Amino acid sequence: MRALGLCSLMLHVMLVCSTELTFELPDNDKQCFYEELDSGVKFDIDFQVIAGGNYDVDCFVTDPKNNVLYQERKKQYDSFAHTTAMEGTYKVCFSNEFSTFSHKTVYLDFRAGEERPLLPDLNRDTAMTQMESACLAIHEILKVVSDSQTWYRLREAHDRMRAEDLHERVSYWSVGETLILFVVSIGQVVVLRSFFSDKKGSVAAST
């Protein structure tokens, strides 16, 4: 079992800790990721299997006391959100132990904390200027664009790996058909030669 701390891979954006990573999960293996979180912190998890086998994986999340917060088996993709009730180390694990031959590729998006408002002074009872409204609108659109790019990137990786797998199968099938045709052709030649050999032997015996 491999372990990895999420903090080493964090991208700190404002008050939000966010991680996006794609990792390999061999057959009969399990990988866990650990994160230190304070009490009352909301975190979100999105994952998707983008290659391997039936595109499924086991996933579970536990709190510092090893209480299971989330557990799903043989999921291709899913999302989970939770607000921590205690301070400590939270664990996210992905298991491929049910698979004997299939190597998986898994995408994980982990986000913890609340995003700081783009304009902290919006709480006061004043109307927003046109520039402030434009900044907020652009900010929301950029978040939508970022999510869309992530989705398209995952779909592209998923479709590419499916295409590569199909290409490999077609190549093996073509090689197999070639070998079968070669063996059948040799067999036909041998059978035809045996017919002529039998006729020659019959003629010689009759004379």
Q: State whether CATH 3.90.209.20 applies to domain 2-116.
A: no
Per-residue model confidence (pLDDT) at position 197: 73
- Kindly state the helix (H) or strand (E) to which residue 111 belongs, with its residue range: strand 104-112
* Beta pairing partners, 91: 34, 62
β-bridge pairing 16-25 and 11-13: antiparallel
Cα–Cα dist 142/149, whole Å: 10
**Buried b vs exposed e over 32-66: b needs ≥16 C-beta within 10 Å?**
ebebebeeebebebbbbbbbbbebbbbbbbbbeee
Please report, in angstroms and rounded to a whole number, the separation of the first and last CA atoms in the chain: 82
Encode the chain (207 residues) as per-residue pLDDT tens digits. Answer: 444 454 433 333 334 567 888 889 998 899 999 999 999 999 999 999 988 888 899 999 999 999 999 999 999 889 999 999 999 999 999 999 988 888 888 999 898 877 666 655 555 555 567 777 777 788 778 878 877 787 777 778 777 877 888 888 899 999 999 999 999 999 888 888 887 776 555 555 555
The pLDDT value given to residue 7: 45
Calpha distance 184→26 (Å, rounded) = 40
The reported pLDDT for the residue numbered 123 is 52
Domains of the chain: which residue ranges? Answer: 2-116, 118-207
